[in-house]
Amino acid sequence: MSTIRVLLIGDVVGSTGRTIFQKHINRFKKEYNIDSVIVNGENSANGGRGITPRVVTFFKHNGVDVITSGNHIWDKREIYSYLNDNNDLIRPANYPTGAPGVGYTFYECKNHTVAVINLQGRTFMRDDLDCPFRTVESLLTYIKTKAKIIIVDFHAEATSEKMGLAYFLDGQISMFVGTHTHILTADERILPNGTGYITDLGMVGSLNSMLGMKKGPIIQRFMTQMPTRFAVETEGPALMTGVWVEIDTDTGKAVDIGSVRLVDNKFKSDETSD
C-alpha cells in the first residue's frame, strides 16, 4: 500500500507563533515521518491579525505546501492581490463571488495530486456566508475529477457544525480538520467511511494566553463589555498543536491518524519580537 503522511498545524499566532513554528517544524517532520505540511495562517502576521505576502514566504521557506485561513484573512489589505495571483494561500470557499482569491487549491506530493479546500462556519459566527455544506458539495464534483486525496479545513466555532459537515463528507474526502477555536481537541479518529477527523487543530503560540493573545485585556472585555486592545502574548512556555494523517494514495482514505501537542518550557519571550 502506498501512503502519504500530511501534518496539519493550527492557527499560527503572530511573530511568537512563527518563531515557535520555525523552531520545531523540522523535528516534527522527522519524528512523524511527514511528507507534506498544511498550516492555518489567518493569524500569522505581526499582531495576530491576518497574513502578509512576507509571512507566506516565511512558511514556504519552512516547508509548508499550503496555507489555509479563515475569518481573519481580510485583516491585511496587502494580501488581497496575493490571494488573486497565487495558489498556495486559500481563503474560505463560501465567501461570495468577487471576494479576492479562491477557496481550494491543488499541489503535488510524492507524485500524487492533493486538493485542499477551506470553508468557514456560520454558527456563532457571521451567518451571511454561503452554506458551507452546499458549497463543498458543488466544489467536490469538480475537485474529485482532479484529485483522489482531498483535505478540508473547516474554520468554524461550533463543534456541532464541524461534526455535521464531517459526517456529511465522510467517505468523500481524505481528511477533515476544524480550526478557529485555537484549542486542540482530543477526538481525532477515522470516521466510518474512511475520512480522518479532528474537531480542532489548536494553535501555535504562547501556552498561557487566550488564543495566543494576552489574557488581561480579554478578561477585562468579558467583565466590562468595553472594547479593549488585544496584543499577542510573547511569554513562554510555547505551544504547538495539530494532527498528522496517513492517507492511502489508491483509495484516498485515511488509514492512521494522531494528534501532536508540544509544550516548549524553554521558550523565552526574547526569541520573538511581536
Q: Quick one: cell of 5?
A: 503522511
Q: Which is nearer to Fe ion, 51 or 136 (CB)?
A: 51
Residues 70-89 touching Fe ion, rule: CB under 5 A, are: 70-71
Q: Quick one: DSSP state of residue 89? A: B
Q: Which is nearer to Fe ion, 42 or 233 (CB)?
A: 42
Q: Which of 7, 8, 11, 184 binds Fe ion (CB under 5 A)?
A: 11
Question: What's the closest the beta carbon of residue 70 comes to Fe ion, in angstroms?
Answer: 4
- Residue 43 lies near Fe ion (rule: CB under 5 A): yes
87, amino acid identity: N
Question: What's the closest the beta carbon of residue 116 comes to Fe ion, in angstroms?
Answer: 17
Q: What are phi and psi of 270, to 5 degrees?
A: -75, 0
Question: What's the closest the beta carbon of residue 83 comes to Fe ion, in angstroms?
Answer: 16
Which residue in 198, 200, 199, 152 sits closest to 172, CA to CA?
152
- What letters, b where the CB count within 10 A reaches 16 and e where it falls short, cover 163-173? bbbbeebbebb
**CA-CA-CA-CA torsion sign (123, 127, 129, 131):** positive
Catalytic residue, from 24, 61, 72, 182: name it: 72
Binding window for Fe ion (CB under 5 A); candidates: 44-52, 62-70, 119-127, 256-264: 62-70
Residues 180-239 touching Fe ion, rule: CB under 5 A, are: 180
CA–CA separation, 16 and 236 (whole Å)? 9
Residue pointed to by grid coordinates 499566532: 13
Residue 269 host element (H or E): none
Which residue in 11, 5, 6 sits closest to 239, CA to CA?
11
Q: How many residues bind Fe ion (CB under 5 A)?
A: 6
- Residue 246 lies near Fe ion (rule: CB under 5 A): no
112 as an active site residue: the answer is: no
Question: What's the closest the beta carbon of residue 35 comes to Fe ion, in angstroms?
Answer: 25
Q: Which is nearer to Fe ion, 76 or 180 (CB)?
A: 180
Catalytically active residues are 72
Residues lying near Fe ion in the complex (CB under 5 A): 11, 42-43, 70-71, 180
